[in-house]
Amino acid sequence: MSNENNTVNRGSERKTLVLAVVAGVCGDALLSWVTMSEVGFSIFPLIALVLAVQALYQEYLTNPVSEDIPLVGLACFFVGAFGHSAFVKAQHPDAGSNFFAIIVAMLLLAWVGKKLGFIGKTA
């Protein structure tokens, strides 16, 4: 992200990205319940998804968004979704391989780390 003179709160950006991961996990939990017979229904992913989306919307209304956060937030959403998919497929091996989900989640995490400055930092 750019280091120009902006008034964006870094804690707010972290909150947005964590909420995006939570929304991705909850969305995939609901999708897994619908598409996989091994996964039972739970009301908690639905409640958490509604609360995470509502908190994301409130965060969007109250704080300015820097230029890279929407794309990084979408990547964090997919990290949560693919991460949960890999977890469910590790619990239920009959559901299929989790190789693709793990690879996509790791590539997205590496890209997010690079965008946020954790990878490729100069000392």
In the numeric block, the tokens 């229904």 are attached to 41
**Per-residue model confidence as pLDDT tens digits over 41-81:** 999 999 999 999 999 999 999 988 888 889 999 999 999 99
Q: What is the pTM of this model?
A: 0.86
At 93, list the tokens: 């091996």
Give the largest Cα separation in the chain, rounded: 52
User: Where along the chain do its domains lie?
Assistant: 10-116
Cβ atoms within 10 Å, residue 113 = 13
**Per-residue model confidence as pLDDT tens digits over 76-115:** 999 999 999 999 999 999 988 999 999 999 999 999 999 9
